[in-house]
């Protein structure tokens, strides 16, 4: 069970850092794509969409080679950075959809009141985009918490996550320790349920808004 506590802590740290990176970068990029007109924006957003459709398995070999050269293999940041890169395109897609549907009258009124671009983003647009932030949080948290393949390849020892660590505990469970194994699995599911329960109101509101506007 000591190993389980270590795996659980690793999952919390890795998932938390991944979530922080994705929320900050997706909110900023989504605002840029949704509200700011600049040269090449459509092309850049098309590349974001392309990154969404490519399977994650195609990246694992070059990422492994890169992390070996950079000394990131078997470290927490060696998982956080690939996770953030994998889940960021979906976050940008969600946040852009939220920002692009906001009425321009809000932006005009804020600028008349003297808001600069950063104040407009932080005080006006971002609070309205809470449902999109909740959706991004849920999808990112679940995806990084339960991800298995990258964690198995990039962190093969004590720095690995709970999803991989459970398979090690299962080998120990061959000696009839199924009670401990069941407890580990249940505790591993609880954080996912907790995050969804806390954010379900905003999540459902975001889905409803999308359906009405569509």
Which tokens is 3 given?
Answer: 């190993």
Among 83, 73, 203, smallest CA distance to 136 is for 203
211 burial (CB, 10 Å; 0-12 / 13-18 / 19+) is: exposed
d(CA 179, CA 163): 18
The whole-model pTM stands at 0.84
Residue-by-residue DSSP string for 83-97: HHHHHHHHHHHHHHH
Residue-by-residue DSSP string for 165-184: HHHHHHHHGGGS-HHHHHHH
- pLDDT tens-digit profile, the chain (214 residues): 567 788 888 999 999 999 999 999 999 999 999 888 888 888 999 898 888 888 888 889 999 999 999 999 888 999 999 999 999 999 999 999 889 888 888 888 888 888 888 888 888 899 888 888 988 998 999 999 989 999 989 987 767 888 888 777 655 445 545 666 777 777 788 888 888 788 777 666 655 454 334 3
């Amino acid at each position: 069970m000591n190993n389980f506590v270590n795996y659980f802590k690793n999952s919390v740290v890795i998932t938390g850092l991944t979530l922080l990176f994705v929320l900050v970068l997706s909110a900023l990029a989504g605002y840029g794509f949704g509200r700011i007109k600049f040269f090449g924006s459509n092309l850049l957003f098309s590349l974001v969409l392309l990154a969404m459709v490519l399977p994650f398995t195609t990246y694992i070999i070059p990422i492994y080679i890169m992390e070996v050269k950079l000394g990131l293999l078997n470290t927490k940041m060696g998982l956080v950075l690939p996770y953030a890169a994998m889940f960021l395109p979906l976050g940008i897609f969600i946040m852009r959809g939220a920002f692009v549907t906001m009425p321009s009258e809000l932006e005009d009124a804020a600028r008349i009141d003297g808001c600069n671009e950063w104040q407009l983003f932080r005080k006006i647009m971002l609070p309205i985009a809470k449902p999109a932030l909740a959706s991004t949080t849920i999808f990112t948290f679940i995806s990084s918490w339960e991800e298995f393949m990258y964690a198995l390849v990039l962190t093969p020892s004590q720095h690995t996550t709970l999803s991989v660590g459970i398979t090690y505990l299962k080998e120990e469970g061959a000696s009839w320790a199924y009670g401990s194994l069941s407890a580990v699995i249940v505790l591993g599911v609880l954080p996912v349920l907790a995050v969804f329960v806390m954010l379900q109101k905003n999540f459902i509101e975001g889905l409803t808004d999308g359906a009405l506007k569509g």
